[in-house]
Structure 1
């Protein structure tokens, strides 16, 4: 999309919708859960906001301005003590976040409190929101992971997806759904046993290494492929995102399709440590920062 994106009110909208989303989701949620809430429940956050893509003037790579706004507001809500981060990419409301009034001026209040926290901590190396380059959103490991996945060959990406669903508890069939890049069929097929070990269900897998968003016709096509193999469940994995229509289509009928987008892929890769290693670091305590003998 073009560079004429009006981002003037995004901070105000996203601040409110993050808190509203966390309340709706029971007070705690992952980034992926919040993004799904934005897609399916949030009227102020539109598909255009979520899907607008620009090109970085510095690196020449495409990026989504909303991702930058989302990450920035999560950071400042945490600094202002409206949310906490129990673990990576997972957020929980504090007492302040649970009880604050979701008013139009909340975003400015959050910004003021966050900057006060930064000043108190003497974080001189942290720049203000206005000083951050407009076309250079912060890059974390999950965005780097998606860059690698998007560069995979179709066969390698489908291999990755089968490894991922295997870690999720699916026993893969070695004969069904292994034809490379057969978009008219399946990219994987397997079986999952219920928790009581009494019933085994058939699971169909679809993998799409796409740049654009996945829309409802792709979900309908996948459901048709599921019919051929009498699959009770479906798992649709993409490096991209799903439109509101696609999410709605996945939930219709008697066989709900699990949707795994780029953000959810990163969560699952971290959860199962699939070809990644966690890194431990340390925060320097105030003892080292205080002056004096």
Structure 2
């Protein structure tokens, strides 16, 4: 089979249709677009693991992710053919037709395009009558939305923090999540025994768990691999931690995710997307206006 990145866009769209339906089934029939996109990449061996972080510049000078382009149009085709629907903004749901479909990938693409291609043609003709090219509409779907823009800005700010300041930031986030951070363990830049934070989480009136934190400020395209998870687990065992939280500005390989769920204890993985969601939820050094605005924390020196 041809590598995914070497496929033409239409080939990529057709290739993505079965994984989209299969992952939606695994997710219970409904998921956010972001959840579904990540699940398709992480559970489809033919797709490079770091493809979600590859960007290009559009003709209008805007940054976009080529994979999102193919993924979004694959979804649009499936929606036109009534295999999925969008009950709310940013949410994808299987229809009865999508839940019952069991044919092979080629038959799926043929069935979908039999319905969607005539619809695209109609839209193209309407666009021409309005003196707009279909390519303009396509490009707009690939460009970042207003929400994507602030998320990209925040991720860029996080990756520009020094390693020490990023560790400080992660400990601050843990405090927001009701973890009482230890003032001595894991708070120095060297000699911390392989952890970047340590604390205590009280889950009810009397039960307290020990929590170890690992923070990796890595380039988004540099994924955390399973050896890093194993090293962290070793440090957790040293400090007798009950839980581990591994935070990164990038993401995790498939093997790293498997490693996080095996061994002496389960490790919670927080990638850049999840990290940004938590920052927004707890309003940590960001302020919501129309979209979130970053505070001066990211501009101040250590």
The normalised TM-score by structure 1 is: 0.73
Distance in 2, matches of 1:201 and 1:208, equals 23
CA separation of 1:177/1:91 partners in 2, compared to 1, >3 Å: closer, same or farther?
Answer: farther
Instruction: Indicate the RMSD between aligned Cα atoms, in angstroms.
Output: 4.0
1:186 to 178, 190, 195: 195
Unpaired segments ≥5 residues, structure 1 = 281-293
Superposition map of 1:213-292 within 5 A: 213-274=223-284, 275-277=286-288, 279=290
**2:110 equivalent in structure 1:** 105
- Distance in 2, Cα, partners of 1:276 & 1:121: 41
Separation in structure 2 between the aligned mates of residue 21 and residue 214 of structure 1, nearest angstrom: 23
Instruction: Work out whether 1:168 is the aligned partner of 2:170.
Output: no
Cross-structure match for 2:144: 138
1:177 alignment partner, SS class: coil
**Counterpart-to-counterpart distance in 2, 1:64 and 1:247:** 23
Give 1:64 deviation, angstroms. Answer: 5.3
Question: Are 1:6 and 2:15 counterparts?
Answer: no
Match for residue 297 of structure 2?
none
Change (3 A) 1:111 1:185: farther
Deviation at 1:10, TM superposition (A): 1.8
Distance 1:230 1:126 in 2: 63
Assess, with a 3 A threshold, how the Cα gap between structure 1 residues 111 and 164 changes in structure 2: closer, same or farther. farther
SS in 1 for 2:86: strand
Residues 122-133 of structure 1: pairs in structure 2 closer than 5 A:
128=134
Q: Name which of structure 1's ranges 253-262 and 31-40 shifts more when overlaid on structure 2.
A: 31-40
State how far apart, in whole Å, the 1-side matches of 2:133 and 2:193 are. 49
Q: CA deviation at 1:50?
A: 3.0
Q: Where do 5+ consecutive residues of structure 2 fail to align?
A: 292-302
Whose helix proportion is higher, 1 or 2? 2
Tell me how far apart the structure 2 counterparts of residues 10 and 61 of structure 1 sit (CA, whole Å). Answer: 22
Give the count of matched residue pairs.
273
Judge which range, 7-16 or 256-265, deviates more. 7-16
Q: In the TM superposition, what is the alpha-carbon distance from 1:222 to its structure 2 partner?
A: 0.9
Equivalent in the alignment of 2:25: 23
Deviations 1:221-261 (A, max 9, x none): 11111122111111111111211111111111131111111
CA distance in 1, matches of 2:172, 2:229: 22
3-state SS in 2 of match to 1:190: strand
